[in-house]
């Protein structure tokens, strides 16, 4: 009988497994042993790609941060109003993104409640997103920085909704953008 060799796990395989584990079971599932059990591999495979568990956590958070920042760059439009709408909708609708990292944002945010590294990364992404929204609102004639905070809080809050209306987040946040712009 010939034993079939399983393909070697890549760094990306471990990161995707980590995102899935985080979403399904929380940060307690992000250790080398639970992840190795999940994929049916040895811890040695994990440590081949990551120096230690904190290094894995940093890589996981870096993946989310990179995807979140890249998504802002792709939220484009012909006018400042269109860019504002696209940016807000991209944030609100991240849980339906093609990016597994962006889809994990509610779990990343929950992790950040009890983890300083995750909290720092989330705070950095929040700062970048808020600055982008504030700049776009200012370009549209809305100078009150609290409007960016309200818009951002609404967008990230929509990610946390655990109901069937998730697929309408982009439409709902678009309506909020229209309401804010009507205040000009």
What was the pLDDT predicted at 2?
57
Q: What is the pLDDT of residue 75?
A: 87
Q: What is the pLDDT of residue 183?
A: 83
Q: In b/e form, how buried is each residue of 104-125, taking b as 16+ CB within 10 angstroms? A: bbbbbbbbbeebeebeebbeeb
Is residue 161 exposed (0-12), middle (13-18) or buried (19+ Cβ within 10 Å)? Answer: middle
What pLDDT is stored for residue 23 in this prediction?
94
pTM: 0.90
Question: What is the structure's pLDDT at 71?
Answer: 92
pLDDT of residue 152: 96
| H-state helical runs in 93-144 | 100-103, 105-112, 116-139
Whole-number Å distance between alpha carbons of 37 and 23: 17
Mean per-residue pLDDT pooled into runs of 10, the chain (184 residues)? 67 96 96 95 94 97 96 90 94 85 93 97 97 96 94 90 66 93 87
For helices 11-25 and 32-39, the axis angle rounded to 10 degrees is 100
User: Is the CB of residue 85 less than 8 Å from the CB of residue 174?
Assistant: yes
């Amino acid at each position: 009988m010939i034993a079939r060799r399983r393909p070697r796990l890549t760094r990306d395989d471990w990161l995707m497994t980590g995102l899935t584990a985080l979403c399904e079971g929380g940060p307690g599932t992000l250790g080398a042993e639970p992840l190795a059990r999940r994929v049916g591999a040895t811890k040695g495979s994990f440590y081949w790609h990551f120096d230690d568990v904190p290094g894995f956590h940093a890589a996981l958070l870096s993946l989310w941060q990179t995807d979140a920042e890249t998504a802002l760059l792709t939220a484009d439009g012909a006018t400042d109003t269109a860019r504002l709408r696209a940016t807000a909708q991209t944030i609100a609708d991240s849980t339906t993104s093609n990016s597994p990292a962006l889809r994990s944002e509610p779990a990343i945010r929950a992790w950040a409640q009890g983890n300083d590294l995750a909290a720092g990364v989330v705070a950095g992404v929040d700062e970048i997103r808020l600055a982008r929204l504030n700049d776009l609102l200012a370009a549209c004639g809305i100078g009150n920085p609290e409007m960016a905070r309200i818009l951002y809080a609404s967008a990230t809050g929509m990610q946390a909704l655990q109901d069937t209306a998730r697929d309408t987040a982009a439409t709902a946040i678009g309506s909020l953008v229209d309401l804010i712009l009507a205040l000009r």
